[in-house]
């Protein structure tokens, strides 16, 4: 007797879904209504969050986006000699010259370094993309943040030293905010979205023997930067390394790497609001003697595990590395070589059902072709105009 796909037990279907790359889930979900329903249930219930890491980054030479997948069970399994990292290019964006990647609520904001190109918002789980035209053609000179307000209306913050604008998904329009974020040079690490608001690590001026550092947040409901929140550690030198992460976008996680003391601390918020924060220590790792620039990381609270991505700064070994650290100390190390750009090491991703179909939905490749065609027509027209002009001038003088 042949078993139909719809007859497979739920446990087996969930195991299959957990092994499918996030960018391929759309095709798998379309096989039958039951599989589609189980896949959505996993998102609503946050199922499988403790089994694997899914992230997005870009290649160093091609500047294209790729997905990453890491089995967390392999890390703590002593019988597994080599921890495998699955990396796949996203063909949908193969022609996109990627500059930065931002993340919030299951959506990725892809910023290119091309003049007069559009921002791309992408939901990998639903397979939806949205192209957004910026008012400034040199949009790559700005920094960005992705979030949403109390009505779950998603927005994009675009800012630099002199200007601050916000894009509203619902109205499909940009607005200039009457605030000047004089902090561009003092934000050193990737921002993090928690419950719709975005948090930044802000390094202030030197105070006494130490350096003032705090969390600065942007409230997408009030559309304002709000006051700094205290960190659970003291920053003593500019060399001290700080990075931000999150747990399911509900708790903010901060990593502090004190090079002088050879100590790494990871803290998790027990309360996080735009104007209040409290902390709990998740992990402290001493005798961390490798000069290591942390660029991103994530934690698994159930396994008491941290995976820390970054770049070794030692003269003998300059490469991109992932350290797997447990509560009992160092576990493993994974060398990426020069495959990735350090500042764009993985953005941790969790799928969502947020739809972004309103507005312009032209595919990125089609948009690139249209832009190239427009440019080609422009230069062809200009060339023909010059020929006609010089032919006319020649005929007049001859």
Average pLDDT, the chain: 72
Of residues 131 and 392, more confidence is placed in 131
What are the backbone dihedrals phi and psi of residue 365, each rounded to the nearest 5 degrees, phi first? -65, -40
Burial annotation 81-105 (CB, 10 A radius, 16+ → b, else e) = eebebebeebebbeebebbbbbbbb
Q: For the segment 86-113, what is each residue's pLDDT rounded down to a tens digit?
A: 677 777 776 777 778 888 998 989 887 7
CB 295 within 8 A of CB 243: yes
Alpha helix stretches (DSSP H) within the chain: 10-19, 25-29, 33-44, 72-75, 364-397
276, pLDDT greater than 80: yes
- 3-state SS, one letter per residue, for 38-72: HHHHHHHCCCCCCCEEEEEEEECCCCCEEEEEEEH
Please give the model's pTM, rounded to 2 decimal places. Answer: 0.76
As a whole number, mean pLDDT of residues 72-90 equals 65
pLDDT at 242: 87
pLDDT at 150: 93
Q: For the segment 357-372, what is each residue's pLDDT rounded down to a tens digit?
A: 655 554 545 555 444 4
- Whole-angstrom distance, CA of residue 230 vs CA of residue 215: 6
pLDDT at 93: 74
Q: Which of 50, 56, 47 is nearest to 344 (CA)?
A: 56
As a whole number, mean pLDDT of residues 312-333 equals 70
What are the backbone dihedrals phi and psi of residue 29, each rounded to the nearest 5 degrees, phi first? -65, -30
Highest mean pLDDT of the ranges 61-70, 230-239, 352-361: 230-239
Confidence of residue 82 (pLDDT cuts 50, 70, 90): low
pLDDT at 141: 77
What are the backbone dihedrals phi and psi of residue 357, each rounded to the nearest 5 degrees, phi first? -80, -20
Helix (H) or strand (E) holding 257: strand 251-258
Of residues 49 and 79, more confidence is placed in 79
Q: For the segment 218-260, what is each residue's pLDDT rounded down to a tens digit?
A: 999 999 988 788 889 887 676 678 889 988 888 999 998 877 7
- Whole-angstrom distance, CA of residue 187 vs CA of residue 224: 16
Confidence of residue 149 (pLDDT cuts 50, 70, 90): very high
């Amino acid at each position: 007797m042949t078993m139909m796909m719809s007859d497979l037990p739920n446990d087996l279907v969930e195991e299959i879904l957990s092994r499918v790359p996030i960018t391929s889930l759309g095709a798998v979900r379309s096989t039958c209504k039951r599989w589609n329903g189980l896949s959505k249930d996993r998102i609503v219930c946050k199922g499988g969050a403790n089994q694997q890491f899914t992230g997005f980054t870009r290649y160093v030479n091609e500047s294209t986006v790729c997905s990453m997948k890491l089995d967390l069970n392999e890390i703590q399994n002593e019988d597994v000699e080599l921890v495998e990292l699955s990396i796949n290019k996203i063909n949908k964006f193969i022609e996109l010259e990627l500059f930065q990647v931002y993340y919030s609520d299951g959506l990725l904001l892809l910023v290119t370094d091309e003049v007069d190109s559009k921002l791309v918002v992408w939901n990998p789980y639903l397979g939806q993309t949205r192209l957004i035209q910026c008012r400034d053609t040199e949009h790559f000179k700005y920094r960005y943040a992705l979030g949403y307000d109390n009505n779950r209306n998603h927005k994009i913050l675009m800012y630099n030293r002199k200007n601050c604008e916000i894009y509203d998904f619902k109205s499909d329009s940009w607005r200039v905010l009457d605030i000047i974020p004089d902090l561009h040079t003092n934000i050193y690490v990737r921002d993090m979205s928690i419950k719709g608001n975005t948090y930044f690590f802000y390094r202030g001026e030197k105070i006494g023997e130490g350096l003032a550092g705090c969390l600065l947040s942007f409230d997408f409901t009030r559309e304002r930067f709000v006051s700094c929140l205290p960190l659970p550690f003291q920053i003593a030198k500019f060399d001290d390394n700080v990075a931000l992460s999150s747990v399911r976008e509900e708790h903010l996680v901060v990593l502090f790497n004190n090079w002088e003391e050879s100590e790494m601390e990871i803290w998790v918020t027990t309360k996080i609001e735009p104007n209040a924060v409290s902390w709990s220590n998740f992990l402290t790792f001493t005798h961390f003697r490798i000069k290591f620039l942390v660029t991103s990381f994530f934690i698994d609270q159930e396994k008491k595990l941290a995976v820390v991505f970054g770049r070794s700064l030692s003269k003998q070994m300059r490469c991109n590395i992932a350290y797997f650290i447990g509560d009992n100390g160092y576990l493993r190390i994974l060398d990426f070589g020069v495959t990735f750009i350090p500042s764009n090491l993985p953005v941790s991703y969790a799928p969502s059902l947020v739809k972004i179909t309103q507005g312009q939905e032209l595919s990125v490749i089609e948009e690139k072709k249209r832009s190239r065609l427009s440019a080609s027509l422009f230069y062809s027209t200009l060339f023909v105009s010059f020929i006609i002009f010089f032919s006319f001038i020649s005929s007049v003088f001859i």
